[in-house]
């Protein structure tokens, strides 16, 4: 980079700096969105203002959902102008594109506050998918659409874990999302649907693109913002991990007021099959994952979710169900299993399970005494279903 600069002629350098002024993604803008109350207070103090103005900022950004400094009317105009001149902006990620499914599911491409072009994916399911009620109280059966709306949130661009059945894996790992980019997906979707936090129930599932426990600090910072500032309950949030043991161990130490519920992508009846479809199993086999999960102190009535992707002929046999039943019982955990029929994706050589196989599997697992739910595929037609998130804009890409 340095080399290139020194090789530029003065004229070119001048053109370049003109370009820098025009491109908003390139100016050193400093997003406020993503900072917690303490950091916002520090920003105010740094500008020679009293620290309590940080509260006003937090109110405006996370409760009134302003997107421009000029809308923060609790701050004096002169201060807002000074902030703008100093490079500060609200900088909340925004919804850049919307795909709507015939089932009402919406998939969004959300553009980061700071760095221009790149988008991440977020999904809104107006009626959830029968998988997570968010509080473990068995409210899955409740009726009323709004009470079950679920937002599926991404934690990274791409993913490094490389599960063989997952479309996101095909992207490889691109980068971690910041706390603001994670929380910003949620806030943008809440705003779009006019959700009144505190009056309406919304469930969050951190099950979009990426492995949340490989971006642990930013993920948890986002959770704290969503709890503390936005006012959402951690008991209506579920984070799903492929089984990153050090992440689960840290998670177990989080205080209950900030700890979402936990879902583990089990996906196989034993280590042999799991290692084949999830290479991460060679690093942390099933028993190591279970040992870490047992360290999480569950709340009353809370259950750990085991997700289980049914791959036709690979993980959907009825004897697998018996094995999963034994495995889950042996953990001694208060648990439930969410079955997910595999959603196909281009270039992935698995097959969907037959509907009869899904039903047989469910019945067999139920007979083992394990609470079991079948997750309805949501938004398959717009690539919004589990494991389909890959920034697919053009449906032409759906070719094989």
Q: What is the binding site for ligand SAH (CB under 6 A)?
A: 159, 165-167, 207, 211, 240-242, 265, 267, 307, 309, 340, 342-343, 345, 386-387
In whole angstroms, the minimum distance from the beta carbon of 278 to ligand SF4 comes to 7
CB of 177 closer than 8 Å to CB of 126: no
Strand-pairing partners, residue 123, are 107, 152
Spot the catalytic one: 49, 89, 106, 121: 121
The CA dihedral of 313, 319, 324, 326, to the nearest 10 degrees, is: -170
Residue 169 or 204: the one with the smaller Cβ distance to ligand SF4 is 169
Among 32, 110, 157, 159, binds ligand SF4 (CB under 6 A): 159
Residue 307 binding: pick among ligand SF4, ligand SAH, none (C-beta 5-8 Å cut-off by kind)? ligand SAH
Please choose, out of 24-32, 124-132, 155-163, 320-328, the segment that lies near ligand SF4 by the rule CB under 6 A: 155-163
Compute the least distance from the CB of residue 280 to ligand SF4, in Å: 7
The minimum distance between CB 377 and ligand SAH, in angstroms, equals 8
333 binds, among ligand SF4, ligand SAH, none (CB under 5 to 8 A by kind): none
Q: Could you say which residues in the range 45-64 bind ligand SF4, by CB under 6 A?
A: none
Q: Which is nearer to ligand SAH, 56 or 331 (CB)?
A: 331
Residue closest to ligand SAH, measured at CB:
387
d(CA 346, CA 207): 20
Of 58 and 357, nearer to ligand SAH (C-beta) is 357
Question: 56 or 265: whose CB is closer to ligand SAH?
Answer: 265
Task: Look at residue 158 and give the partner it binds from ligand SAH, ligand SF4, none, a contact being a CB closer than 5 to 8 Å depending on partner kind.
Answer: none
With 0-12 CB in 10 A as exposed, 13-18 as middle and 19+ as buried, what is 17? Answer: exposed
Catalytic member of 152, 159, 163, 386? 386
Please tell me whether residue 211 binds ligand SF4 under the rule CB under 6 A: yes
Q: Is 372 helix (H, G, I), strand (E, B) or coil?
A: strand
- The answer to whether residue 121 is catalytic is yes
Q: In terms of CB distance, is 166 or 197 closer to ligand SAH?
A: 166
- Residue 266 touching ligand SF4 (CB under 6 A): no
Query: Considering only residues 163-192, where is the footprint of ligand SF4 by CB under 6 A?
Result: 163, 166, 168-169
Runs of H (alpha helix) within 284-385: 286-293, 318-331, 355-367
Nearest partner of 190 among 102, 71, 62, 70, judged by Cα: 62
Q: Which is nearer to ligand SAH, 56 or 119 (CB)?
A: 119
* Nearest Cα residue to 324 out of 280, 277, 273, 275: 273
| Long-range contact set of residues 329-333: C-beta below 8 Å, sequence gap at least 24 | 329/368, 329/369, 329/370, 331/290, 331/293, 331/294, 332/294, 333/290, 333/293, 333/294, 333/298, 333/303, 333/304
Residue 386 interaction partner, one of ligand SF4, ligand SAH, none, beta carbon < 5-8 Å per kind: ligand SAH
Active site residue 386: yes
Contact present, 83 and 77 (Cβ < 8 Å): no
CB of 179: closest distance to ligand SAH in angstroms? Answer: 18
Which of these, 132, 95, 139, lies nearest to 113 by C-alpha position?
A: 95
What whole-number distance in Å separates Cα of residue 300 and Cα of residue 30?
42
* Alpha helices (H) in 253-317, listed in sequence order: 271-277, 280-283, 286-293
Give Cα separations from 193 to 109, 122, 178, 202, 273 (angstroms): 16, 14, 23, 11, 41
Residue 267, contacted partner among ligand SAH, ligand SF4, none, CB below 5-8 A by kind: ligand SAH
Catalytic residues, by residue number, are 121, 386
């Amino acid at each position: 980079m340095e080399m290139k600069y020194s090789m530029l002629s003065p004229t070119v350098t001048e053109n370049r700096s003109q370009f820098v002024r025009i491109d908003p993604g390139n100016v050193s803008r400093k997003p406020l969105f993503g900072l917690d109350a303490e950091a916002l207070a520090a920003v105010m103090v740094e500008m020679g203002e009293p620290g309590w103005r940080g509260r006003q900022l937090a109110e405006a950004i996370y409760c009134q959902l302003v997107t421009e400094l000029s809308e923060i009317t609790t701050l004096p105009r002169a201060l807002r102008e000074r902030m703008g001149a100093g490079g500060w902006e609200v900088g909340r990620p925004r919804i850049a594109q919307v795909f709507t499914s015939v089932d009402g599911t919406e998939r969004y491409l959300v553009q980061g506050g700071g760095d221009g072009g790149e988008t991440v994916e977020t999904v809104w399911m107006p009626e959830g998918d029968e998988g997570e009620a968010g509080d473990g109280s068995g409210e899955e059966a409740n009726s009323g659409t709004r009470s079950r709306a679920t937002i599926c949130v991404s934690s990274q661009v791409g993913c490094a874990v490389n599960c063989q059945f997952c479309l996101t894996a095909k992207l490889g790992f691109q980068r971690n999302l910041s706390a603001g980019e994670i929380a910003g997906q949620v806030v943008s979707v809440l705003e779009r649907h006019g959700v009144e936090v505190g009056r309406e129930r919304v469930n969050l599932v951190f099950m979009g693109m990426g492995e949340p426990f490989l971006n642990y600090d930013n993920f948890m910072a986002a959770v704290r913002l969503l709890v503390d500032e936005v006012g959402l309950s951690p008991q209506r949030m579920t984070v799903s991990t492929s089984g990153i043991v050090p992440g689960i161990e840290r998670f177990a130490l989080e205080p209950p007021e900030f700890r979402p519920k936990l879902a583990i992508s089990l996906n196989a009846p034993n280590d042999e099959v799991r290692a084949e479809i999830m290479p991460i199993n060679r690093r942390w086999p099933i028993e190591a994952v279970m040992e870490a999960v047992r360290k999480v102190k569950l709340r009353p009535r809370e259950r750990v979710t085991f997700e289980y992707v049914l791959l036709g002929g690979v993980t959907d046999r009825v004897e697998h169900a018996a094995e999963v039943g034994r495995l889950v019982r042996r953990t001694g955990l208060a648990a439930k299993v969410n079955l997910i029929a595999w959603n196909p994706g281009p270039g992935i050589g698995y097959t969907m399970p037959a509907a009869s196989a899904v039903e047989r599997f469910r019945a067999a697992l139920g007979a083992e005494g394990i609470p079991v739910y079948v997750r309805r595929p949501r938004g398959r037609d717009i690539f919004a279903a589990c494991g389909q998130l890959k920034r697919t804009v053009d449906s032409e890409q759906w070719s094989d």
